[in-house]
Amino acid sequence: MRAMVTDPAARGLLDDTAVIELGNEALILTHDMMAEGVHWHSNADPADVAWKLVASNLSDLAAKGARPLGVLLGFMLGEDEWDRKFAEGLAVVLKHFNVALLGGDTVTNRGDKRGLGLTALGAATHRPVPSRSGAQVGDLLYVTGTLGDALAGFELIDAGFDEVGPLANAYNRPEPRLVEGQALAPLVHAMMDISDGLLLDAERMASASKVGISIDLSQIPLSAPYISYRGETLESRIQAASWGDDYELLFTTSPEEIIRVTATVVGRVVEGAGLTLYDCDAQIPLPPSLGYQHH
Amino acid sequence: MRAMVTDPAARGLLDDTAVIELGNEALILTHDMMAEGVHWHSNADPADVAWKLVASNLSDLAAKGARPLGVLLGFMLGEDEWDRKFAEGLAVVLKHFNVALLGGDTVTNRGDKRGLGLTALGAATHRPVPSRSGAQVGDLLYVTGTLGDALAGFELIDAGFDEVGPLANAYNRPEPRLVEGQALAPLVHAMMDISDGLLLDAERMASASKVGISIDLSQIPLSAPYISYRGETLESRIQAASWGDDYELLFTTSPEEIIRVTATVVGRVVEGAGLTLYDCDAQIPLPPSLGYQHH
């Protein structure tokens, strides 16, 4: 289907969102799906599923510096109790992010597993709208927050404990960086959210920008709970940098720019192509998998 | 979930679309889903599924007099051959309606039946944007095209023949009234598309407008193929008026207004509430089911 996406608003699908110029405004439109058995275990809390569905779409808006205008839900009806908990969770997450449910559709599910879809609409707060493709040689590469918490949380949940700790919470209830995205939009050369792992997404940014990116793994920001759980070894940092669901922002800008958002320099934009990894001064080989390949 | 839809843009879910005021423009946003086993038989042509998914969403834009800006697809991956045919059909229908695919998402399906979602975005061509709720006592009630063809087509397909005739085509490849909707938007008091049957949708219009609507069944426009198949009896007209998937436009305007779109007067807006049916001058009781109740 990629071949039929020829409208300039689609940005060649190199971005996670469509950017539509209309009158004086630029609309940001994104649609993410989640499928039972792929994006959530059948025994997951339906309220967590609702949270993640909304948060993952809002994260795409955050990466564009967009102000959310609302969401539309595509919901497959299922077992009453599950649906009720999902609806309660949806109300909670929409209120948390102050986002309106504008409509959508419900359908009966005749199958054994469900799929849910959410469309999020936003308005750009700065033009040009940030994209993956603006990184310039000499830029610093930044990441907001800490990485790997969601990975660690998933492992803990999967192993059957720590369902309410900070790591599990990072997995179940990510906080898209909407405020940071709007503050950064006027300052950045390139920006995207990290949904599939820092390394994979940084490689995509390098490719879209036709530059190289070097990352110093010793600079990967880790949280105290993550360090308690997995330590601060190089391997622990590589894992934190190569798994998804963090929903932090990855961006580049010139070293002179003053960034007023809490963010960590993890690398720089260089000539060439692709990703190069360092541990302090020592170059290290790329891991076999850079991140999580969604479908 | 209805209770959490409080934003004025959602129009209380009384309309099929959200209307979002942004700068000088009014955006029209709609999301419809289709589920295997509910909206399509497992042996349906995937290209027809693609057509209907796009056409049903564009019909919601047509009812707002909107100009389509593009669509986002939420697609559950399945069997390769099915997916390939769907993608080919999608290209055909998007080209037919000159609508851009702006993006979307694909997910692996771990279940035995699939769900598909489409979001359509349009820009209003006239303000105020037509809604279901503007019908005024004394208005004439119009419908575009003919009714019942899709019903007859579904029956023929279900019985295993006539898969390429005009009735089957009306079911598989509906033509949303985009041109007519834009032409009518400045002239109408109320407008909606008929997706669930004339009677059911007219009752919804009466309820939203806080008026009564009387329909003369003898005036229901029928096509020659429909008449050949089911005759012109009162029962045949009631069936044509109480089944969905026609995707014609239903609208009201004052008797003085000159309508330049091909449409048939089927009734009028009256004082009171609800629906009243006539066969010429004789009032007849409402049928047990007014139309198709989707989920």
B108 close to A (CB below 8 A): yes
Higher per-residue confidence, A115 vs B219: B219
Mean pLDDT, chain A, rounded, equals 91
Contact between B70 and A20 using a beta-carbon 8 Å cutoff = yes
**Residues facing A29 on adjacent strands:** A18, A121
- Domains with residue ranges and CATH for chain B: 2-124 (3.30.1330.10), 132-284 (3.90.650.10)
Q: Strand, helix or coil at A11?
A: helix
For residue A106, what are the contacts with CB-CB under 8 A and spacing of at least 6?
A75, A76, A77, B1, B33, B295
The answer to whether the Cβ–Cβ distance between A111 and B108 falls below 8 Å is no
Q: Is A37 helix (H, G, I), strand (E, B) or coil?
A: coil
Backbone angles phi, psi at A229, to 5 degrees: -80, -40
Q: What is the largest CA-CA distance in chain A?
A: 57
Report pLDDT for A8: 74
- Give Cα B265 distance to the centre of its chain: 18
Where does the pLDDT of residue A295 fall: very low under 50, low under 70, confident under 90, or very high at 90 and above?
very low
Largest CA distance in chain B: 57
SS3 assignment for chain B: CHHHCCCHHHHHHCCCCEEEEECCEEEEEEEEEEEECCCECCCCCHHHHHHHHHHHHHHHHHCCCEEEEEEEEEEEECCHHHHHHHHHHHHHHHHHCCCCEEEEEEEECCCCCCEEEEEEEEEECCCCCCCHHHCCCCCEEEEECCCCHHHHHHHHHHCCCCCCCHHHHHHHCCCCCHHHHHHHCCCCCEEEEECCCHHHHHHHHHHHHCCEEEEEHHHCCCCHHHHHHHCCCHHHHHHHHCCCCCCEEEEEECCCCCCCCCEEEEEEEECCCEEEEEECCEEECCCCCCCCCCC
Cα distance between residue A112 and residue B114, in whole Å: 10
pLDDT score for B5: 67
CB B119 within 8 A of CB B20: no
Whole-number Cα distances in Å, A116 to A38, A51, A71, A239: 12, 12, 13, 29
Of B205, B178, B189, whose CA–CA distance to B255 is shortest? B189
pLDDT confidence of residue B295: 38
Q: Which of residues 13-32 of B touch A (CB under 8 A)?
A: 13, 16-18, 20, 22-25, 27, 29-32
Which helix or strand (DSSP H or E) is residue A28 part of?
Answer: strand A25-35
Nearest by CB to B90, which of A4, A10, A76? A4
Element (H, E) at A72: strand A66-77
pLDDT band at residue A13 under the 50/70/90 scheme? low
Note whether A179 contacts B: Cβ–Cβ < 8 A: no
Token pair for B20: 């979002």
Q: How far apart are CA B214 and CA A268, in angstroms?
A: 71
* Residue A107 pLDDT exceeds 90: no
Handedness of CA A50, A53, A56, A59 (dihedral sign): negative
Distance from CA of B115 to the nearest CA of A (A): 6
The tens digit of pLDDT for each residue in A132-172 reads: 999 999 999 999 999 999 989 999 988 887 667 899 999 99
Contacts of B103 in chain A (CB under 8 A): 5, 10, 13, 16-18, 29-31
Q: Which residues of B touch A100 (CB under 8 A)?
A: 5-7, 9-10
Tens digits of residue pLDDT in A54-96: 999 999 999 999 999 999 999 988 888 999 999 999 999 999 9
8-state DSSP, A213: E
DSSP conformation class of A244: -
3-class SS of residue A85:
helix
Which of B142, B130, B58 lies closest to B100, judged by CA?
A: B58
Nearest to A18 among B1, B31, B103 (CB): B103
- Alpha-carbon gap, residue B63 to B146, rounded angstroms: 16
Minimum mean pLDDT range among A193-197, A289-293, B76-80, B110-114: A289-293
Alpha-carbon span A202 to A193, nearest angstrom: 10
Q: Let me know: does A151 contact A167? Beta carbons within 8 Å.
A: no
Burial (0-12, 13-18, 19+ Cβ within 10 Å), B150: buried
Closest alpha carbon to B17 in B48, B47, B70, B62: B62
- Residue ranges in chain B whose pLDDT is less than 50: 294-295
Cβ distance A25 to B29 less than 8 Å, yes or no, reads: no
Q: How many CB pairs under 8 A join A and B?
A: 226
Angstrom distance (rounded) from CA B135 to CA A69 = 29
Mean predicted confidence (pLDDT) in A106-114:
83
Q: Report the alpha-carbon distance of residue A144 to residue A147 in Å, rounded.
A: 9
pLDDT at A197 over 80: yes
Quick: pLDDT tens for B120-168: 999 999 999 999 999 999 999 999 999 999 989 999 988 887 667 899 9
Half-sphere exposure of A38 (CA within 13 A, CB side): 20
Check CB contact under 8 Å for B108 and A295.
Answer: yes
Weakest-pLDDT range from A52-66, A118-132, A221-235, B157-171: B157-171
What phi and psi, each to the nearest 5 degrees, are found at residue B211? -140, 175
Q: Give CA separation, A45 vs A50, A245, B61, in Å.
A: 9, 17, 36
Contact assignment for A74 to B74 by CB distance below 8 Å:
yes
Place of tokens 């969102």: A17
pTM: 0.88
pLDDT band of A12, cuts 50, 70, 90: low
Subunit contact A109:B27, Cβ cutoff 8 A: no
Q: Would you call A107 and B18 a contact, using CB atoms and an 8 Å cutoff? A: no
Is the alpha carbon torsion for A140, A144, A146, A150 positive or negative?
negative
Instruction: Please tell me the distance from the alpha carbon of residue A91 to that of residue A75, in angstroms, as a whole number.
Output: 14
A4, B87: Cβ pair inside 8 Å? Answer: yes
- Whether the pLDDT of residue A241 is over 90: the answer is yes
